């Protein structure tokens, strides 16, 4: 058999292969002027605003990602509070009436400075002759006591005499016991008279306390009774004495979730009412107008509202708090207790999930303590 002759792909009568079709298509596409009659297609280009938006979006995503993972964030436990006096003796003290009656005279006015022991007011009883009647009653009671003592002395002598006669058989037992009963009655009368004397003396002492004195040095405020027109009971508040230079601390309240992480010595940033301040919670160094403090003590029990009280004192060596002339007891404030430093992304994730603050590294957690207290031996 004779073999067929080989023919090239370019000879007529033979179909071109698939690779040859691809080369022909590429060569035709590269020919100039193939799409010249499509004028609209040639004018369509990507808008600059779209390219700018895409590039800006990519850069923004990269920046936000970098900030979330690498930017530091200082966690804080914030809470409201007010200025209080640390020493109980430096807190406002009430001036109260020791006896009931009407205010006869005021020795001070609102805003006056007083020293400890200075007279503040004098109380007048409704009965102006009460003191004289009490003195007369006291004299009467003293006379009763003298009479009871004399009668008791006579009764004791009678008991001794009857005892001797009874021992000799010259007196009946009933008469001897009757003399003892008489002496006991006189002793009871003497005791009653002495008790009455004590009551009269107490009443006289109370009436001698009609003048009310200042319990300590300070400034008078809140005078709340008019002279001669208002009846006051014993223990009613007449005025208030406010010490001039108390040792002040900030009494702030923190949430129960954060109280386990708060301990004495931690730094606190404070914004006092009336002082312009800007606070950046995560970056305390960027804030302005704030004052420095440190945690002094933390209560071990919660208040009725569920918050825990934290006392904050002035930070030594830092900017001093305003003087008592401007920052007075009772002024409102807000504090930020500085905690651990974490990333911005972690803080955002924590707040979205409402998790507590980060526990300090190197400290034993309450869970660890409970685990350490559990017995590790085998059960019997």
146 or 168, which is more confident? Answer: 146
Residues with Cβ within 8 Å of residue 84, at least 6 apart in sequence: 91, 248, 249, 250, 251, 329, 330
pLDDT per position as a tens digit, 236-269: 888 999 988 889 999 999 988 888 888 899 999 9
- φ/ψ (deg, to 5) at 331: -65, 145
Residue 96: pLDDT over 70: yes
The mean pLDDT of 320-341, rounded to a whole number, is: 89
- 237-240-241 Cα angle (round to 5): 140
> pTM for the full model?
0.59
Domain ranges of the chain: 72-89+246-363, 90-242
Give residue 127's pLDDT: 66
Mean pLDDT of the chain: 79
Give residue 319's pLDDT: 87
Residue 83: pLDDT over 70: yes
Q: What six digits make up the tokens of 54?
A: 């895409």
Q: Which CATH number fits domain 72-89+246-363: 3.40.50.970, 2.40.30.170, 3.20.20.140, 3.10.310.30?
A: 2.40.30.170
Give residue 161's pLDDT: 83
* SS3 category, 308: strand
Count of beta carbons in the 10 Å neighbourhood of residue 95: 20
d(CA 313, CA 248): 7
Query: Would the CA dihedral through 236, 216, 122, 135 be positive or negative?
Result: positive
Report which of 356, 345, 293, 355 is spatially closest to residue 81, judged by C-alpha positions.
Answer: 293
Give residue 44's pLDDT: 67
Identify the CATH number of the domain defined by range 90-242. 2.40.50.100
Q: Which pairs from 132-137 meet CB under 8 Å and 24+ separation?
A: 134/200, 134/203, 134/204, 134/207, 135/204, 137/200
| Contact predicate 101/232, CB 8 Å | yes
* Dihedral, CA of residue 104, residue 107, residue 111 and residue 115, to nearest 10: -130
208 or 321, which is more confident? Answer: 321
């Amino acid at each position: 058999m004779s073999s067929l002759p080989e023919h090239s792909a370019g000879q007529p009568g033979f179909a071109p292969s698939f690779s040859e079709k691809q080369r022909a298509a590429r060569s035709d596409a590269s020919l100039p002027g193939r799409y010249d009659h499509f004028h609209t297609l040639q004018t369509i280009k990507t808008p600059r605003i779209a390219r700018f938006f895409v590039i800006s979006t990519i850069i923004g995503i990269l920046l936000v990602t970098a900030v979330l993972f690498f930017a530091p964030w200082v966690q804080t436990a914030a809470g409201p509070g007010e200025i209080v006096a640390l020493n109980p003796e430096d807190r406002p003290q009430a001036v109260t009436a020791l006896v009931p009656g009407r205010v006869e005279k005021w020795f001070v006015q609102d805003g006056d400075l007083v020293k400890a022991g200075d007279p503040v007011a004098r109380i007048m009883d409704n009965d102006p002759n009460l003191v004289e009647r009490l003195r007369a009653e006291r004299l009467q009671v003293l006379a009763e006591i003298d009479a009871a003592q004399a009668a008791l002395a006579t009764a004791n002598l009678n008991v001794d005499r009857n005892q001797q006669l009874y021992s000799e058989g010259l007196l009946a037992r009933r008469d001897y016991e009757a003399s003892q009963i008489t002496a006991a009655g006189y002793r009871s009368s003497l005791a009653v008279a002495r008790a009455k004397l004590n009551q009269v003396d107490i009443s006289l002492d109370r009436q001698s306390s009609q003048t009310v004195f200042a319990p300590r040095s300070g400034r008078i405020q809140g005078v709340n009774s008019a002279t001669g027109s208002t009846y006051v009971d014993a223990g009613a508040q007449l005025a208030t004495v406010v010490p001039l230079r108390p040792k002040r601390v900030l009494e702030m309240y923190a949430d129960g979730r954060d109280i386990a992480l708060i301990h004495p010595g931690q730094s606190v940033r404070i914004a006092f009412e009336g002082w312009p301040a800007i606070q950046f919670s995560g970056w305390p160094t960027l804030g302005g107008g704030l004052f420095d403090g440190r945690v002094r003590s933390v209560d071990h029990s919660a208040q009725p509202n569920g918050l825990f009280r934290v006392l904050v004192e002035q930070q030594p060596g830092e900017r001093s708090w305003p003087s008592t002339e401007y920052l007075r007891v009772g002024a409102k404030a807000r504090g930020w207790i500085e905690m651990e430093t974490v990333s911005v992304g972690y803080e955002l994730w924590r707040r979205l999930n409402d998790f507590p603050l980060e526990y300090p590294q190197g400290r034993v957690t309450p869970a660890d303590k409970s685990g350490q207290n559990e017995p590790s031996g085998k059960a019997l």
